[in-house]
Structure 1
């Protein structure tokens, strides 16, 4: 997560995670799963379900920062503080979500809540976001999860971790993993100096996102 997502971090934590400016390399790592939720008729996309498992270093730092009673674990109240902090802090980044239909951005509702827990000493974050308006499975629909500041690497280690249950047989699915050098070369004309220097990230950073692409054709 970008450092501004955790403004409570102590000076020691800031030394671990950076000064708060954008970096060409991520400092926090998470393995992820994304489930695309369809309506009952399997004709429209209604929501996205996320599961992020964070790396040991980041997880241990969160544990250290939120363990108010120093019992080396987070109780329900402490976990709620983690959840609430992440929820409010990632709002400006659309919770790292990218959804497009035929190349046009699709608006998402903020998740009602996030759930933070620990499993095998690793921080897990789970949440579901609904689309403002369900979109039909027609043409090309893309789903991605990325940090526009490049501070956090959201990694889908297997293509199966970007899933759609009940996808109609009129649709094909493909996981697209852009090569950074190729993406830069293909978009060089549209990338400005501001892209490389803006600590808040820009929309162009989506060219580096791993995406699930659905290509749906009308029934014959």
Structure 2
């Protein structure tokens, strides 16, 4: 499996920008460019046809925006696909909605080719491309939390709740391990269990979940 190329699909309605991205993607021996779409509707169809590993998804497009397309693709039959949304500005409310829809992270359109390629490979390996601490700032500014309600965490053990709140507040695994006197491997296992129990795809979504349910305000003072 490690020798297989990463299948990448592109969704953007700007031909010149798309042409540049395709050149970059096709220049990499470990990447396979499998197709492009210019709007969200076509993206949903193309994702089913090509089964990409990673999709670069513009947010603002005609016919169907990238947020709606992200939600539909991740709810569909394409297994294991990860989506990176593309935006012109970093501090963008639409990025928050894309994360809430299931995106694994985002890139600004002025990112360097090197950062673009590193992001694709990082996301494909199952890691987030936006630090939880950065996600905190964005989500704090653009999320309207519901009333704090810890009932959504009832399926977690007491230790998992502790790990959840620390991870949601932006702590890295090493920091959580030091604070709870645990090994980093144990923290990593707890985080994976929390994501599974809450049906979340990434730590970024974990941060979003905490803000949406008012759990950070209620428990960490953020």
TM exceeding 0.5: no
TM-score scaled to structure 1, two decimals?
A: 0.29
The structure whose RCO (Cα within 8 Å, separation 6+) is larger is 1
Q: Greater helix share, 1 or 2?
A: 2
Q: Which structure shows the higher strand fraction?
A: 1
What TM-score results when the alignment is normalised by the length of structure 2?
0.29
